[in-house]
Chains A and B, each alone.
Chain A
Amino acid sequence: MSDITVTKGAPPRFRSATEESPLARWAMIAAAVLGLGILVFAPLIAVFVEALAQGVAASLASLATRDAQEAIKLTLTIAAISVPLNAIFGVAAAWFITKFDFRGKAFLITLIDLPFSVSPVVAGLCIVLMFGTNSLVGGWLVANGYPIVFAMPGIILATMFVTFPFVARELIPVMIEQGRAEEEAALTLGASGWRVFWTVTLPNIRWALLYGVLLCNARAMGEFGAVAVVSGKIRGQTATMPTTIEMLYQEYLSVAAFSLAAVLALLALVTLLLKTALEIRHADQLAAAHRH
């Protein structure tokens, strides 16, 4: 005991194993704040500043035009159709991949990621090639009054292609981690496959699903490249919010362009707020689901 010296005064402060030195900590915080500031906050603020450059009235007036109204309506409609469909496809794909063993599984996972690696413009061109008036299928559809390209179905197809991976990508790791044991347990307790899906599988993935759906939604509303190619950008008809913004900007109508951009940004922010609110409200369940 004699070699332990008791020092009087402030008790020693221990640093936890994962804690960095103060200098490193501040450097990292500074880098994070700077990065966020330059890449996220500054542009976001700039959009709103530009939108309101000629006052609130001018900004609102530009949003009240028929073209702007139609663009907002179209974008919301596209999201309302493509996001639920992609949610269903995503859940089905993730379920199929994680709950069954089959050959070519790795290939299928790669295939799901394809939209991420293919440029959206190329994706749009593929749809034009397949369904355009000059193609076999497209010609027949147009002749029978169901045009795909330069019309709503084409925009939905393009949006769905680009946003397809979001839901499945969120779900696959979660479902792999959770394994099949709970589903098997439910089966041994007499539940049908359908019941197992609704009472065990879906509740277990609901947070990942919600997250995937929100990401998918944000991207669906913001998609530009693929939609620009397939939609033809007909004002008041097939021009979505992002394509309208670009056209307005090209015509030096900066208040109109930035006002619409501000609305698009606000829609994205609402999505994020929704997610945060849900996370706060269900924090205990989230923790329980992760701790297991």
Chain B
Amino acid sequence: MHIEIDEISKSFGTTAALHPVSLSLPSGALVALLGPSGSGKTTLLRILGGLEFPSSGRVMFDGQDATGLSVQDRRAGFVFQSYALFRHMTVFDNIAYGLNARPRASRPTKAEIARRVTKLLELIQLPDIGARYPSQLSGGQRQRVALARALAIEPRMLLLDEPFGALDAKVRKELRQGLRDIHDTTGLTTVFVTHDQEEAMELADLVVVMSMGRIEQIGKPQDIRARPATPFVRAFVSA
């Protein structure tokens, strides 16, 4: 799905988290929102997911105005920074949650839900953990379960907030490849937030560099490296 962000701004009380920003994300792209802490990355991602509403501006999905669309109707697969797995449910029930939440008419049968959950567990290469609770998983496993849960709703786009933030370097590298693979097989427009410029450059097709609520530069990783548009970008990517 093609995502168009048109002059979106957001302020919380007196603090401006986002100055008007505009951005066009081509269908099927893997996009990194890159920037230091407090630059507005999470805010922009939450606006895309419908968890936050912009103070001004519009969000367009495939050319249609989606600004007022409710979080449920956006069908965005959202992976939270702390994963936000349902702690009182098994991994199986976590992944099945979105399917069970559908209205009766479009809800798959129990057997069909079980089949899809099993398939997703295979996709994230953790076929045997369906009966476990989130507290019985490692950080990397939790992250993959969160991804499977988001994919279960057959989302129109994938939004991930610092998906690898809380993991050690080795697991991070593995999961990066995992995300790339899942993106390539599903073809979903995917936006992930990171403050790690190496991660952004390595993984993304398109990198959006942000600072203090503004977009500093949008471009392919190699273009941003070769031709930083502002002194901030130059300093940030060479760090």
Contacts and interface: CB of A to CB of B under 8 A. Distances in A.
B135 A288 contact: yes
B105 to A, nearest CB: 13
B175 interface: no
A245 to B, nearest CB: 42
Task: State which size class the interface on B falls in.
Answer: 20 to 34
A288 B87 contact: yes
B85 to A, nearest CB: 8
Interface in A177-195: 181-182, 184-192, 195
A291 B50 CA distance: 30
Contacts of B101: 186, 189-192, 195, 199
Contact of B135 (A184, A189, A292): A292
Interface stretch (B73-81, B178-186, B209-217): B73-81
B228 interface: no
A218 B75 CA distance: 46
Nearest to B93: A199
B75 A181 contact: no
Interface string B142-153: 000000011011
A203 B71 contact: no
Contact of A190 (B49, B72, B85, B136): B72
A186 B97 contact: yes
Contacts of B97: 186, 189, 191, 199
Contact of A185 (B84, B88, B133): B84
A292 B84 CA distance: 10
A184 B153 contact: no
Contacts of B72: 187-188, 190-192
Task: State which size class the interface on A falls in.
Answer: 20 to 34
A190 B101 CA distance: 6
B77 A190 contact: no
A88 interface: no
B49 A186 contact: no
B86 interface: yes
Given A190-B153, A288-B133, A185 B86 contact: yes
B86 A188 contact: no
Interface in B106-135: 133-135
B128 to A, nearest CB: 19
Please indicate which of the listed interface residues A190, A191, A199 has the most CB atoms of chain B within 10 Å of its own CB.
Answer: A190
Given A181-B82, A291-B135, A188 B49 contact: yes
B138 to A, nearest CB: 14
B69 interface: no
Interface string A258-292: 00000000000000000000000000010011011
Given A184-B51, A189-B97, A190-B102, A204 B82 contact: no
Given A187-B72, A200-B86, A289-B87, 12 more contacts: A184-B84, A185-B86, A185-B149, A187-B51, A189-B98, A190-B72, A199-B101, A285-B88, A288-B136, A291-B135, A292-B87, A292-B135
22 contacts: A184-B78, A184-B80, A184-B84, A185-B80, A185-B149, A186-B101, A187-B72, A188-B50, A188-B51, A188-B71, A188-B78, A189-B101, A190-B72, A191-B97, A191-B98, A192-B101, A195-B101, A199-B97, A199-B101, A288-B87, A288-B133, A288-B135
Closest 4 CB pairs of A and B: A189-B98, A181-B84, A191-B101, A188-B78
